[in-house]
Each structure stands twice: as C-alpha cells, then as structure tokens.
Amino acid sequence: KVEFSVQGITRRELEKNDLVPFLGDSGYDEALVLQSMERIRRHFQEKGHYRVTVNRTEERSPDVLRLAFEVDPGPRLVLDDVGFEGNASYGADRLRRLMTTSARRFLLPGSGRLVDEELSADLSNLRSFYLLEGFDQSQVGPARIAEKGDRLEVVVPIAEGRRRQVARLVLGDLAPLAEAAVREVLPLRDGGPFHRLLLERSVDALRALFEDRGYGNALVAAEVEWSADDLQATVHLRVFAGEQWVVDRILLRGLGRTDPGVVRRFLGIEAGDPVRQAEILELQRRLYKLGIFTRVDVRLAPDAEGSEARELLVDLEEGRSRSVQVGAGYDSESGVRGLLRLSQGNLFGKATAISLDLLGGQKDQHFRLIYSQPYIGGLHAELLATLYDEHEDRPDFVVDRRGGQLVVGRELGRWSLQAFASYRLVELEAEDEFFNDEIPLDSRNARVASVTPTANYDRRDDPLDPTRGWNGSFQLEYAFPALAADANFLKLFGQATAYLPLGRLGVLASSARGGAIEPLAGGASATPRDALEASVPAAELFYAGGRTTHRAYRRDELGIVGETVLLDPEDDTPDPYPAGGGGLALFNFEYRFPVAGPVGGTLFLDAGNVWTDYRDVRSGGFKWGAGLGVRYLSPVGPLRLEIGWNLDREPFEDPYVWFISLGNPF
C-alpha cells in the first residue's frame, strides 16, 4: 500500500495536470516517481518559478510505503534576455529563431519563462544547425543562467570551429534530366556547407528524380575528394540509370459492381508509359476521389520484376453504396435545424450517385434531389444536377425558391472551375404592409434563367480552419429572358481571403468582398432603384449584416438609410427593413489567438456597406464595427460565440449584436 502526501501544491492540482502518473493504473514504480518529480519541476517553471525544488522522502514498513513530496516553488522569475557568445557566422536574431526559449514579449503566450527541458532541446537544435552548416567540430553550450533580482538572463556560448564546404559539385550521366533542374533540388551546392547527412539526402533526391522518370533500378555513386587542409570538398555524384521501366499492361482487381470501363477513364496511364511514382500516387488520389472505393492500392506486379516491361496492378475494394446520414445544429440566425440525407452511390456500376437532402429548422426548410457524375464523356469533369425547393424565413421577409441547376466543374491543380446553368422561381413576401408597398410585386415574384461561370484558386493549408495561405474566388451571373423568365441582369461577385501565421501568437485573417449588379432592362432614363426593380428580383440583390458579413449588424440590416435600408415614417420606433442593393463592399479583419487547448479567442474589425448602385461605392460610406469572441475548435470546424459593437450607430440601430455559429466567417 502506498500513502502519498505533498506540500507546496495541492493533490488535486497534481492529478488535474497529470503530474503524478504513479497514482493511476500504472501503480508505484521508482521510474514513475522520478518522472513525476520532473513533471512538477516543469509545471512550475512554465509558470515562471525557475528555481523550483522538488524533494521526496520515503518511509517503508512491511505493509505501507509512505511517500512525501515537498515542493518549494521559489520566487517568480522572468526571462529578460537570451544572448550568445562566439557566434561569428550568424547573428543573434537568426539563432533565436531556432529556439523555443524566448525573452518576455508582449502578447506572446509562454514567453519569458525558462524551462530546463525546453532549453536542453534548444541547445540540441542549435548543435544540429551548426553541424548541417558545415561546422563539424562546433560546440554549443552549456548555457549560463544569471539571476538579477526577479530577472533571468541566458547566455549560450558557441565555439564554431572549422567549417567544411563544397568547393565543387560534379554531376555525371544525368540524361535524360537537365543538370540545372537537378541542381535546384539537391541539398549540396557549390560553395555551400558539407555534411554527411546532406550528401545522403542529395543521393536520395537524385535517385528519386530518376525513379520518377521510370528508372526504378537507378543507382547513384558518391565520391568525395578533400583539399589539403581538409576543408574544401569536391563531390562527384554519378548515376547508373539502367533500363527505363514502362507499363506493359494494367490489371484491375477487386471490381464487383463497378464497370471496369469507368475505372479506366481515370487511370491516366497507358501501356508504353514510363512507370513514374508521382503518377501512381496521383492515380490513387483520383480513384479515391470517386468515393466508391474504401481501398485503392496501385503497385507493380511482383511477378514482373525481371523485365523492363512492367505490369501495373490496381487493387480495389468497393465500399457500401447506400448510406443514411443525420445531423443537427444550431446558430443564432437560423435556430435549431436537423438534416436527413439518403444517398445511393455507384448507380449501375457507373460511379454516379443520387441523394435526397431534407433540412428542416425553425427558419429554414430545404429539399434537394442531387445527381452527380464524375465524368462527362471522355472529359475529367464533374456533372452535378439539382432540383430544389427552399423556404427561408429571414428577419424581415420570407423567400421561397424552386428550380433546377446544372453544374459542370473541373479541378486543375489549385484551380477549381465551374459553370452553372439554372432556372428558378423566386417569391418574396413580408407581413409588414410598409415593406410590401415599398417593394413592387414584380420584384418580389420573378422567374430567373441564368448562366454563371466561377473560378476559385486555393492556397490555404486547411479548408476548415486555415492558418496560412490565401484563396480567391470570382463569379459572373448572366440572367436573361428565356422560358418565361423575366429577370435580366449581370451580377459580379468576388472574394479574397488571406491568413498570416504569427506562431504561438495566433493568426491574422483578412477578407475582401465586392459585388456589382448591372440591370439590363428598365430604360436609360430610369433611376438606379427603378432599374434594379425592373430587372432584378428583390431576393437576388445584395444584402449584408450578420455572422458571416458584418457582425455589428443583424442579418441583412446593413445599408444606407432611405436607399438600401428603409424606415416606416409612421412608426415612432421604426425597425430597419432591408431593401437590398446593386453594390456591395465588405472588409473583415480578425486576430485569432490561442487560449487553452482547443479554446481560442478573436478580436475583429468589420467594415463595408450596401449601395443601390455599384457606381456609388465609396470608402466614405463604409460603416464600421468591432468585437470579440470565443472559439472552440471542434472536429467539424470552429464553434464561435461572438459579440459585435456598432461604431457608426444610427438612432434606430442596436448598439451591439451577438452570434452563435459553426465555421469561420470567411
């Protein structure tokens, strides 16, 4: 039996932070006790108590082991500076960027705390850096730690020693590769540092280049000649390419329901092509993307090892074709919602699918019947056909849409290109008589036939919660009179987002959105408002305000009073009624920072407005809002609770609004 006691910290805090593993299921063990003492030291050092001491005492009897920890946190100390001595070749700023340990910095969580375990890892990292830079006899540390009052200073002594470099890199027998292209990917270079690891990486990289050209038996021989002072190396890399492997035939295995001809559409490899590893991996990605296989394994057949003509084996495992999905959610604008999806995949073995989506909520009801096909004839383009009936209860009016849509899309690297053709019936109604009087019936009820090309370019590191990169999208909708459709307009919309990582500080995110509608009916003498109402259904205009556009305003309530936001003059305390507009400009800036684990915070600034005519868009007409929020990073995206304050408040507008939603605002 083990009886444990502790002084200087509560037992609850020890167990909460998993600092005493020997109290769990593992049981008492000398190694675990020592590990616990180190964990406690690190725990206090991370809080600024660098001089913490942890002592233990043990009393043994035949039946009981009494174990006691005595913890003395000591004073709270702040790391004020990290310096170096002997670093002739590299500046202090360059070396500090290689370390986790850092002096105290404003708004940088964890800075100004000296932790022995982190400092040891930093010194190891610095040693590796110097070795890879050619300083094969360099010495780094041990660090000197000085205490001055409540401040700490760390000095890292460095003895660089000699540096070994590559005087000349000689490459031989590179055909069919171009020498200039090869040199760009090799870690070794003329005048650069020499290290045995860099040589091994260069050999591996050169071999991989030839293997990707189909030379699966390529060998690379390396020879190093040293100068008299043993500091300058002449490195010879010679390639023995051997015979190029080519695809003899492609064997498909594991198909049951699926038509082999459908799979062959996506192979992208034919008999006689070189065996390239990159193309094999791309083939696996394409087949997985079809969504009908749970396993895709593409490899060379083992019985073809002796010849240059190789059989390519595509081993497949088909997944279940039918599925039922249910979901539930809530956000502050739409309320509680539920989703039911019934889908049948791989129809008739052609990799096509059909699904029925039913979404019901307090304010939204959607019905969608979707047919998808991942190819169109011999083209690697996706076809998507949708029939839908949507009911949306917005704060000031109700929108009903019914129609169909046909989409053709294709991905080209980071580009995603799509073309939409749609026909829809749009009906807009409001209970308020003032709103109905201001919005003509022809603008509230309309038929829209349109085509819309779109393009999207994505360089983000994560589609759900990006931390770096950027993406941009563009779409142009042309609505024309056809099949009794009466809408006639051009609608342009574009958006760009960018993300700047700040390390442990978090992420800066920004977004710019803009749109313009050009009415194509109504006559040249019509006012901008009359032209919009004659050509564009009210539900197709631009609206802003809400959790994804401008968070200082309720949904759709951002606009210019008397133009895109209307007030009832007979109401003593009027509510704003959104009338929509033909010009939109929005800018969002957000600082996302970590708090603890998956919980983070946000500070944001939103600006923009909605104008009747896009030609009137001016920065002087922007309305501004600022706010803060809390984020929880769930497996399906960030869950947000945010509050925004109106910085350009009109007398009838709320001073602040709040939102609960899932996903990023942009």
In one-letter notation, the amino acid at residue 486 is D
**106-163 pLDDT, tens per residue?**
656 567 899 999 999 999 999 999 999 999 999 998 999 999 889 999 999 999 999 9
Q: Is the pLDDT of residue 442 over 80?
A: no
Query: What integer pLDDT is reported at residue 134 of this predicted model?
Result: 95
Query: What integer pLDDT is reported at residue 25 of this predicted model?
Result: 59
Query: What integer pLDDT is reported at residue 370 of this predicted model?
Result: 97
Residue 6 neighbours by CB distance under 10 Å = 19
Query: What integer pLDDT is reported at residue 434 of this predicted model?
Result: 65
**Residues 27-37 as b or e (16 or more Cβ within 10 Å = b):** eeeeebbeebb
Residue 15 phi, psi dihedral angles, 5° rounding: -75, -35
**192-224 pLDDT, tens per residue?**
999 999 999 999 999 999 988 888 888 999 999
Q: Is 275 helix (H, G, I), strand (E, B) or coil?
A: coil
**DSSP letter assigned to residue 51:** T
Q: Give the mean model confidence (pLDDT) for residues 483-502.
A: 94
End-to-end CA distance of the chain: 57
Q: Write down the H helix ranges in 266-350.
A: 277-289
Q: Is 252 helix (H, G, I), strand (E, B) or coil?
A: strand
**559-596 pLDDT, tens per residue?**
999 899 988 877 777 788 899 999 999 999 999 999 88
- Asked if 8 and 53 touch (Cβ cutoff 8 Å), the reply is no
Query: What integer pLDDT is reported at residue 440 of this predicted model?
Result: 65
Residues forming beta bridges with residue 342, ordered by sequence position = 324, 356
Query: Can you tell me which residue has the tokens 């000689």?
Result: 170
Confidence of residue 310 (pLDDT cuts 50, 70, 90): confident
In one-letter notation, the amino acid at residue 71 is V
Query: Can you tell me which residue has the tokens 């945010």?
Result: 642
| Strand ordering across the sheet containing 293-300 | 246-253, 309-318, 293-300
Q: What percent of the chain has pLDDT over 70?
A: 95
- Asked if 239 and 215 touch (Cβ cutoff 8 Å), the reply is no
Confidence of residue 410 (pLDDT cuts 50, 70, 90): very high
Q: Give the mean model confidence (pLDDT) for residues 420-438.
A: 81
The whole-chain average pLDDT of the chain stands at 90
Of 43-57, 132-146, 276-290, 520-534, where does mean pLDDT reach its minimum? 520-534
Query: What integer pLDDT is reported at residue 136 of this predicted model?
Result: 92
Q: Is 656 helix (H, G, I), strand (E, B) or coil?
A: strand
Joined together, the tokens standing for residue 529 give 């408002």
Query: What integer pLDDT is reported at residue 602 of this predicted model?
Result: 96
Query: What integer pLDDT is reported at residue 145 of this predicted model?
Result: 95
Name which residue leads in pLDDT, 245 or 156: 156
How far, in Å, CA of 408 to CA of 376, rounded?
9
Q: Is 7 helix (H, G, I), strand (E, B) or coil?
A: strand
Q: Give the mean model confidence (pLDDT) for residues 296-318.
A: 80
Q: CB under 8 Å to 168, separation ≥6 — which residues?
A: 190, 234, 235
Query: What integer pLDDT is reported at residue 445 of this predicted model?
Result: 85
Peptide bond into 176 cis (omega under 30): yes
**DSSP letter assigned to residue 321:** S
- Asked if 41 and 113 touch (Cβ cutoff 8 Å), the reply is no
Q: Give the mean model confidence (pLDDT) for residues 254-262.
A: 92
Residue 532 phi, psi dihedral angles, 5° rounding: -65, -45
How far, in Å, CA of 506 to CA of 525, rounded?
53
Confidence of residue 26 (pLDDT cuts 50, 70, 90): low
Q: What percent of the chain has pLDDT over 90?
A: 62
Query: What integer pLDDT is reported at residue 307 of this predicted model?
Result: 63
How far, in Å, CA of 140 to CA of 138, rounded?
7
Q: Is the pLDDT of residue 303 over 60?
A: no
Query: Can you tell me which residue has the tokens 């202090």?
Result: 92
Residue 33 phi, psi dihedral angles, 5° rounding: -65, -45
Within 275-381, strands assigned E span: 293-300, 309-318, 322-331, 335-347, 352-361, 364-373
Residue 170 neighbours by CB distance under 10 Å = 12
Q: Is 484 helix (H, G, I), strand (E, B) or coil?
A: coil
**606-651 pLDDT, tens per residue?**
999 999 999 999 988 999 999 999 999 888 789 999 999 999 998 8
Q: Is the pLDDT of residue 504 over 70?
A: yes
**Residues 545-583 as b or e (16 or more Cβ within 10 Å = b):** bbbbbbbbbbbbbbbbeebbbbebeeeeeebbbbbbbbb
Of 55-64, 497-506, 564-573, where does mean pLDDT reach its minimum? 564-573
Peptide bond into 598 cis (omega under 30): no
Residue 50 neighbours by CB distance under 10 Å = 23
**338-373 pLDDT, tens per residue?**
999 999 999 999 999 999 999 999 889 999 999 999
Q: Is the pLDDT of residue 525 over 80?
A: no
